[in-house]
Amino acid sequence: VGIIVQKFGGTSVGSIERIQNVANKVIREVNNGHQLVVVVSAMGKTTDELVNLASQISKHPNKREMDMLLSTGEQVTIALLAMALREKGYDAVSLTGWQAGIETEAFHGNARILNVDTTKIKSLLDEGKIVIVAGFQGITKDGEITTLGRGGSDTTAVALAAALNADKCDIYTDVTGVFTTDPRYVKTARKLPSISYDEMLELANLGAGVLHPRAVEFAKNYSVQLEVRSSMEDERGTIIEEEVSMEQNLIVRGIAFEDQVTRVTVCGLPNGLHTLSTIFTTLASHGINVDIIIQSTTNQEKTNLSFSVKTPDLEETLEVLEKNKETLAFETIESESGLAKVSIVGSGMVSNPGVAAQMFDVLASNDIQIKMVSTSEIKVSTVIEQSQMVKAVETLHEAFKLGEEALTKVNG
Ligand code: ADP
Ligand code: ASP
Ligand code: MG
């Protein structure tokens, strides 16, 4: 027998009826002769509700207590699912993150998994039990509860699959797979039969919420065979694997986007050797994540620096910069919120120059002004007005022929 890891997200366990449905999916694989480890998220919007409760008490809740709070969501689901399985005559046992041996770094709110001690899970599996594990949480060396960042249950599942050397890891969710772009926004989005780890990693990092980026990282590093599929519909999902043969005429495989982007411009910085390192070291030491960076030199002595941050980080970014105004020696700061980032991703771009130009052309022809750009071998990202985000995604989706209809035309 082989081990299978299944993961069910919030919507998929959002009600008792859905938990029963999950139990049936688990039972099906057990009856196929597999050992099952099942990772679940908090029910429905539970995590959002818990965040909301905390925000009614504090603007900046203590991070340790926040993890204590948020980790409760998953604990409800594991117990209910174990009960549902027992009621159906199957021996199941639920484990919290620490009981399952998930050790993380000591970083509240967004901890990385450092190690998985599978001793307990393995012995429970050997006793013939179905093991249900709480996603999204772990424990530090000092016994403190941590969480893995929003969407982190995916990472729990893949880390367990890697540590247990599982045959496969199935991510069950509320869409039928990974699409060319978010199907909730673009009706013509098409399900991809497969996608490479690298492309999926870019899409996830650039805002496609269907998989937690670190889950894809783990899957790539430990060659875990991943499938994203529907917890409701019984159809094949999307396989995430090492190499994917290029679909005909598809240089761009997907489009990702995220809102809540702000551009910060620091004007009149000294044009010196250490300017960049000083400013970004200062921001990094406060845990502020900077994304796209553009430097423009106005004259020999002075330089301007623009960079993008997530809008919720703006307040702290400005505070940190102002506090260090003397050392950084800048003149003024400007910021523009209400922006979004739209990115095209595809490994075919490496060998096809002109993809970026085509993207800029499509946006310009639709009166969408590009405020910042960043590229890598397999992606091009643009920052635009948030109000034009969906329109930009739709027009790019069409222009790069990613839709259902476009594909039949190309092939037929
Ligand atoms: P879960 O609770 O199961 O983890 P998530 O909400 O985290 O589910 O992820 C699934 C959602 O990801 C979908 O409902 C969809 O709106 C969104 N999504 C974003 N980009 C994509 C994409 N390229 N393909 C499929 N879904 C996507
Ligand atoms: N419940 C957590 C969240 O909502 C983790 C997850 O669903 O993956 O972010
Ligand atoms: Mg998720």
How many C-beta neighbours within 10 Å does residue 361 have? Answer: 12
HSE value, Cβ hemisphere, 13 Å, CA-based, for 149: 15
User: 197: exposed, middle or buried (C-beta count within 10 Å: 0-12, 13-18, 19+)?
Assistant: buried
Q: Cα–Cα distance between 262 and 36 in angstroms, integer? A: 44
Atom of ligand 1 nearest to the CA of 184: 16
Decide: 198 and 220 in contact? Cβ < 8 Å.
yes
How far, rounded to the nearest angstrom, does the alpha carbon of residue 292 sit from its chain's CA centroid? 18
pLDDT at 411: 47
pLDDT along the chain (412 residues), means of 10: 95 98 97 97 98 96 97 98 98 98 96 98 98 98 98 98 97 98 96 95 97 97 97 95 68 96 96 91 92 88 94 95 94 97 93 91 97 94 98 97 66 43
Answer yes or no: is the C-beta of 135 below 6 A from any ligand 1 atom.
Answer: no
Residue 20: the pLDDT is 98
Q: Whose CA is nearest to atom 5 of ligand 2?
A: 151
Q: Which residues line ligand 2 (CB under 6 A)?
A: 9-10, 41-42, 47, 73, 135-136, 150-153
Ligand 2 binding pocket mutation candidate from 40, 153, 174, 231 (most atoms within 8 A of CB): 153
CA of 22 to the centre of ligand 1 (A): 18
For residue 240, the ligand closest to its alpha carbon is: 1
Predicted pLDDT at 405 = 58
Ligand 2 center–CA 147 separation, angstroms: 9
pLDDT given for residue 69 in this prediction: 98
Of residues 338, 335, 139, the one with CA closest to residue 147:
139
Joined tokens for residue 229: 């599929």
Q: What pLDDT score does 287 carry?
A: 86
Confirm or reject: Cβ of 13 under 6 Å from ligand 1.
Answer: no
Closest CA to 114 of 225, 218, 212: 218
| Residue from 45, 158, 210 to probe ligand 1 pocket by mutation (most atoms less than 8 Å from CB) | 210
* pTM for the predicted model, two decimal places: 0.94
Whole-angstrom distance, CA of residue 141 vs CA of residue 125: 25
* Among 52, 136, 155, 211, residue to substitute to test ligand 2 (most atoms within 8 Å of Cβ): 136
The rounded Å distance from CA 210 to ligand 1 centre is 3
User: Does 208 sit in the ligand 1 pocket, CB within 6 Å?
Assistant: yes
From the CA of 171, which ligand is nearest? 1
Ligand 1, atom nearest to 153 Cα: 4
The atom of ligand 1 lying closest to the CA of 228 is 25
- Write the CA distances from 276 to 273, 325, 329, integer angstroms: 8, 14, 12
Rounded to the nearest 5°, which phi and psi values hold at 403?
Answer: -80, 165
175 touches ligand 1 (CB under 6 Å): yes
